[in-house]
Structures are given as structure tokens and as C-alpha cells.
Chain A
Amino acid sequence: AQSVTQLDSQVPVFEEAPVELRCNYSSSVSVYLFWYVQYPNQGLQLLLKYLSGSTLVKGINGFEAEFNKSQTSFHLRKPSVHISDTAEYFCAVTPSGNTPLVFGKGTRLSVIA
């Protein structure tokens, strides 16, 4: 079975500063990895995904993530955050197209003016 650990439940950061949200996973098989964002009272929106190929994945809104198989990590980064990036971020993993995504507990990013 797969599991996901998001190491920080809350991350406060000043506007225009860089941010990294950490995600580690455990699995005995190859996996596919996703980052989702949830704005208040909304559903989840895909930020980016790693399916295969280059380990550096670029997503929407200036976010990127790096898949590190040896570290079993998929950390999310943004070089300069905006107030509008304030939201909850979820990392997810699945081993195949027919199995549900398994989610971490989420990281609440608060951007301070």
C-alpha cells in the first residue's frame, strides 16, 4: 500500500519570498505523483503531476516540483510567492490508472504581506 507524508501542516511565508512544501511517499512499486491546491470553500485543482520522464516538473502559477526516487520525495517549490497563493496544498500518489489517489494530510500555506 502507498502512503504520503506532508512534513509541515502549516507554512507561513512573506510575500515574494521562496517556499518549499515537502512531500515524502512510501511504496513498494513505481508510482505517479500529483500536487493539488485547494482555495477556501473550493474543490481541488491540479497544480502539476509526475508520470514519467524529466524529474523536474513545471506546473501552473509558477510552481514546480522535483521527483527524487532515491529520497522518495516530491517537494513543491515556488521562487516568489504572492498573497493569492494562500491555500491548502495536497500531495497525492497512485501506482496505476485504476487505483484511487492516496493523499497526504495537506499543508496550509499562508502568505503574509
Chain B
Amino acid sequence: DVKVTQSSRYLVKRTGEKVFLECVQDMDHENMFWYRQDPGLGLRLIYFSYDVKMKEKGDIPEGYSVSREKKERFSLILESASTNQTSMYLCASRTGGIVNTEAFFGQGTRLTVV
């Protein structure tokens, strides 16, 4: 069974802290994504990566960075957490190339910044 695993389901951090959200997939997928989900706004793309050490900005990259040192792992970093980054964060992976398939999602990390 395919799996995308996010390291935490719930996280509470203080304003100004550096926060790491980790995501691991076991499907050998080339593409990985970080989305942010807020009520009434749907899913918005923060960053994505189509290969190891490669990254592309999504629609809302400000205040975030990412790291992909290994194919199976994609980390989202909040350099200095702020209360407006309180949200649900969803990681996804997808095979790349001409084969068009769906994205597989992790369970999500609900982050609260106080």
C-alpha cells in the first residue's frame, strides 16, 4: 500500500521559532509537494520539488523554505513562525514524466503558532 507519512499530526510552536515539518514517501516518486489548507481557501501550493535538490516556488512561498536531500524526503521549514502560519499543512507525492497519475497525500500536520 502506497504511503506518504508526515512526522507530526499536531504541533504547537511559539512565535519566532524555527519549525520543521517532515514528509516521507515510499513510492519512489519524483515529485513532492507542500500545500497549506485554510477554511474557505482550499489547498494552496507552497513549494514543490521535481527531483532531489530541486525546488520550485508555488503560489504562497513567503515565510517558508524547503529541503530535499533524498528522493523520499521533503521538508518544509518555517524560518520564524508567525501566528498567520497557523494552518493545516499537507504533503503529497506524485510520479513524474509523461505518465499522468494522481497525487498521494499524507495525513496532514495541524500547526498552531502561539
* Residue positions of A touching B, CB distance < 8 A: 6, 9, 32, 34, 36, 41-46, 49, 51, 90, 92, 94, 96-98, 100-106
Contact = CB atoms under 8 A, between A and B. Distances in A.
B84 interface: no
Contacts of B9: 41
B42 A104 contact: yes
Interface of B: 4, 9, 31, 33, 35, 40-43, 45, 48, 50, 58, 90, 92, 94-108, 110
B105 A90 contact: no
A51 B98 CA distance: 12
Nearest to B38: A105
B40 A9 contact: yes
A94 B31 CA distance: 13
A90 B103 CA distance: 13
Given A41-B108, A97-B99, 9 more contacts: A34-B102, A43-B108, A44-B92, A51-B100, A97-B100, A100-B58, A101-B92, A103-B43, A106-B42
Interface of B is mostly: loop
18 contacts: A32-B100, A43-B107, A44-B43, A44-B90, A44-B92, A45-B105, A46-B102, A96-B98, A97-B96, A97-B97, A97-B98, A98-B97, A101-B92, A101-B103, A102-B45, A103-B35, A103-B42, A106-B42
A98 B98 CA distance: 8
B100 A96 contact: yes
Contact of B106 (A6, A34, A43): A43
